[in-house]
Amino acid sequence: MEKIVAPLKMVVGIVTYHPSPQTCERIQGLFDRGIAFLVYDNTPGDNFWPAAIQPHVLRRGFNEGLGVALKKLGNCAYDQKYSHLLYFDQDVIFNFLSLDWITHWYEFHIPDKSVGLIWFNYQDQGSCSPEESKPYKIKLAISAGSLINLNALKSLEGHTDRWFLEGIDYDFCFRLVQQGYHLLGVNHCPDIDYLSYQPGIIHRDKYGKSQLLRIQPMKRLWNFWSALLNLSSRALLQGPREYAFIFFRNIFTYAYDQVKAIVWTFWIKVWKR
């Protein structure tokens, strides 16, 4: 199996839209510590970023959507000769310990060149050393917390810009698999928090697993279901066909999650009375 000989050359990528003070502080911290980063800012209006940060920020003064932002962020990282893009949503909490852990994990395990994406997780898993954390194969991953192989990204011509927000991460994973790339998951990465800054209710099930419950507007639900139907039909026609079942099942899973979010929201409002 062919190995990547060159050391990891990673850049942190973040897409912002009216970023919170906490997000701006994290980005400033990356700059202060000399950590390579790129920001795609979808905030409408004038450029509000400090002068020192502006060379690292891509923006056009209006909201182009997540698909366009990820596509341009990935292309920019590739053009600047980085090997990997570590992407975070603006509301994901991470720190320098997280970045060091990911770098050490990569340098110890040296993933094969056929790995297109590695998703790092901490929630409900606890932490351990990078050497002890073993990777496992996954079918899909969210974009946030993903270390993306930029050679693989370039071979796909980047993320899709046909969709504004929903289904972009699933589409990217699906196309990676179609091109023969593998997806890996890695647990135990410290201090990554995908949930705390998200609006909604954090529910912990009987197995101790946390889940975000949030009532979504109907337009967003319809866009996500439309994307999943599109992906299901493509998987049936183009393969791998097991993904048709995965995408179709997610339509019902997402609908069930919405029912849970409505019930829990109603129950909490009644209980608070």
Sorted by sequence, the CB contacts under 8 Å of residue 10 that are 6+ apart come out as: 36, 82, 83, 84, 85, 86, 102, 103, 106, 147
Identify the CA nearest to 175 among candidates 100, 231, 112.
231
Which residues are paired to 86 by β-bridges? 12, 147
* Percent above pLDDT 90 for the chain: 66
Mean pLDDT for all residues in the chain: 87
* Percent above pLDDT 70 for the chain: 85
pTM: 0.88
Residue 42 has pLDDT above 90, yes or no: yes
Residue 39 has pLDDT above 70, yes or no: yes
Residue 175's pLDDT band (boundaries 50, 70, 90)? very high
User: DSSP assignment, residue 96?
Assistant: H
The most distant pair of C-alpha atoms in the chain lies apart, rounded to whole Å, by 62
- Write down all domains in the chain, each with its CATH number in brackets: 10-186 (3.90.550.10), 201-272 (no CATH)
Taking only the tens place, the pLDDT of each residue in 211-245 is 556 667 777 778 888 999 999 999 999 999 999 99
What does the pLDDT average to over 164-193? 93
Residue 262 pLDDT: 73
Percent helix, strand, coil in the chain (nearest 5)? 40, 20, 40
What does the pLDDT average to over 149-167? 92
Residue 97 pLDDT: 92
Residue position matching structure tokens 């366009």: 68
Residue 245 pLDDT: 95
Residue 196 pLDDT: 62
Residue 75 has pLDDT above 60, yes or no: yes
Residue 199 pLDDT: 60
Give the integer Cα–Cα distance in Å for 172 and 117.
10
Residue 260 pLDDT: 75
Residue 215 pLDDT: 66
Residue 179 has pLDDT above 90, yes or no: yes
What does the pLDDT average to over 192-203? 65
What does the pLDDT average to over 183-210? 72
